[in-house]
Structure 1
């Protein structure tokens, strides 16, 4: 962890939506290795929450605890309104889990994988077949349904994995690095599937090393480092935590440029391009203050651009190291 820790954004006031997942003081160690060092979570229902972290940061352990696969050493959690320790069966009935590595059985067909899940969920035979047919259509797997799953591409296996997870109609889904090993086209397809799930009211808990993925999908993001959550907020809130944001104003008229430079004495001047640059967090309040100063001087900028740090900058500042996404394991589509 860098020596200059960055505080997490404060929660906004007003009523909050109901929580799908809450956790307080979760701790987990394996021998002398502390994996989770007291994390707190509150994830609203019907949202996408992304947990970012390097390999070994504790992302998968968090998923395993919240999905009842392993127990926490300390702390409490509720998932879908059920206490994790007191009602694990009720938690399992309400959730679906897709891990980093496919749970698909390659020796049987995609359809048979789906029907097996229907049997495990004790669905009546007719209802099970109807559910499987609907999900195969939804995930564009009808043509491949009768083929052995071992013949599927990486992208198809991921789609089948999530389709199998949905057989039990879970309201909360844990996706542990769901696009690892997929090519860009397959990743974008998976993003579309995740957005559809949330539109249907499903809560998605996503772990990922792909910062673009978190930026695209997540309503809120938490950064996990050395077993602790070191920052949490929306993507825009997190970007504003890191220095380096600025506003660039460009003028076509040299006289307007000189007047603006006088009105904004704290701006860096670029006379050759008739541009001014000011530090800014990119917030509406900050931009309004700059424009008000220009208005008071009777000057208007011809071009205004806002530059803010991206999630890569945030991640590096909070964890002290750049991300190292897993390399693709196989071609996919």
Structure 2
């Protein structure tokens, strides 16, 4: 990657951080977003690093922690914010909320709240790509808790059997709601090694190192595109805020302030800036400029959302959009 490529990754992380911090504050203070929200603050490197390695024609599917993958894939920001406000101008017509985002034009196929739900959906999309013979890849984001679902194992088995062009992205943030890995998985086991058991490629990466994530994702995506079969990436990371909602919860019973603080010290934006400081001594000034730019951008998106109309009550039982085939979005391949 060139220095411009690396700066773009940092810029994208700063954008997601600014958007989510603004929305978290508004969610708490206004009480106007009546949808469960799962913020990725602290986890930005996973979405940015992976999605930057994909093409616009590739399709990303996400679980409930969906804002970051949606934005990293190029999803429309005003439509995202309007969806959180429940407005007709939202990306799902104000009917889906935070956990049901979609932007087909950007190659974001959708997100859903049921644990592991979108993993087999991504495998189905990859099967369609394979049958059509198109050079496209499906990617699916999920948490460590989803690796304990039957759908996870069935999907890996099917994808490996048919050598499908799919990349499984496990954002291992160490907890399934409030249960740590140690309370759910036997000692000496790991998620990425389970994928090896199905005969597919798999690797474990520092999920707070956006450059390492991008390098690993680029290898996985292009391998899948070349029809070498699926690949699983286990990305170790950590969410700073509560599982669902805008608040901090280190005073709860399941994790300590010291633990959260130790991960904040490993902030992916700060780590990336430090890595670039030798090549670009002005990196801190750049980040300050980007923060101002994106704070203004999300402010305009909030104004757009507030000005929108709520869905007509007579249409609430209708779908937000007609079913669509998984067509390649317009733009670059």
Report the TM-score when normalising by structure 2.
0.26
Structure (1/2) with the larger strand percentage = 1
Larger radius of gyration: 1
Higher relative contact order (CA 8 A, sep 6+): 2
